[in-house]
Amino acid sequence: MAKDKMSGPERVEHTIQVLRDWQKLEREAIENTAEIMEKTGNPLIRQFMEIIRNDSVQHHRVQQFIIDSLTTTPVKLTPDDLAEVWDAIAAHDEVERRTIEIAKELKEECRFFVQKALLEYLIIDEEKHDHLLGMLEEFKKKLYPYG
């Protein structure tokens, strides 16, 4: 059956199956990066593999969260949930933005290609954090449509 012809429950089942298949790939990535790390003594290669391995672990956890949210534990977010921590979230977002500025300045000044590449990675990761916090801001707007 074509994806656009699926019923709601069929779409959910399809999503869950794709996520489970994806989780298998993430587990392979975790194993592969660990094997590569064991094979090399090069600190740069090990650092890159560790970053990828840690990201794959986190991806697997997020995929499981999505599966759980569709099968056993629906996502619940209330205005009170956000209100009790919003000042801390806003303060943390400011920290993320400052780290992005610092990293960009440092990258601009850096004349070493390996260090410059690692600074680029840090910038991308910090921008990802800022994006996630922006998503919480969007959730807040949807929960408080008039505020």
User: How far is it, in rounded angstroms, from Cα 105 to Cα 95?
Assistant: 15
The predicted structure's pLDDT at residue 1: 58
Nearest to 22 by CA among 68, 60, 74: 60
* pLDDT tens digit at each of 147 positions of the chain: 567 788 889 999 999 999 999 999 999 999 999 999 999 999 999 999 999 999 999 999 999 999 999 999 999 999 999 999 999 999 999 999 999 999 999 999 999 999 999 999 999 999 999 999 999 999 998 888 765
Q: How many Å from the N-terminal Cα to the C-terminal Cα in the chain? A: 43
Q: What is the pLDDT of residues 87-116, one digit of tens each?
A: 999 999 999 999 999 999 999 999 999 999
Radius of gyration, CA atoms only, the chain: 20
- The domain locations on the chain are 1-75, 77-147
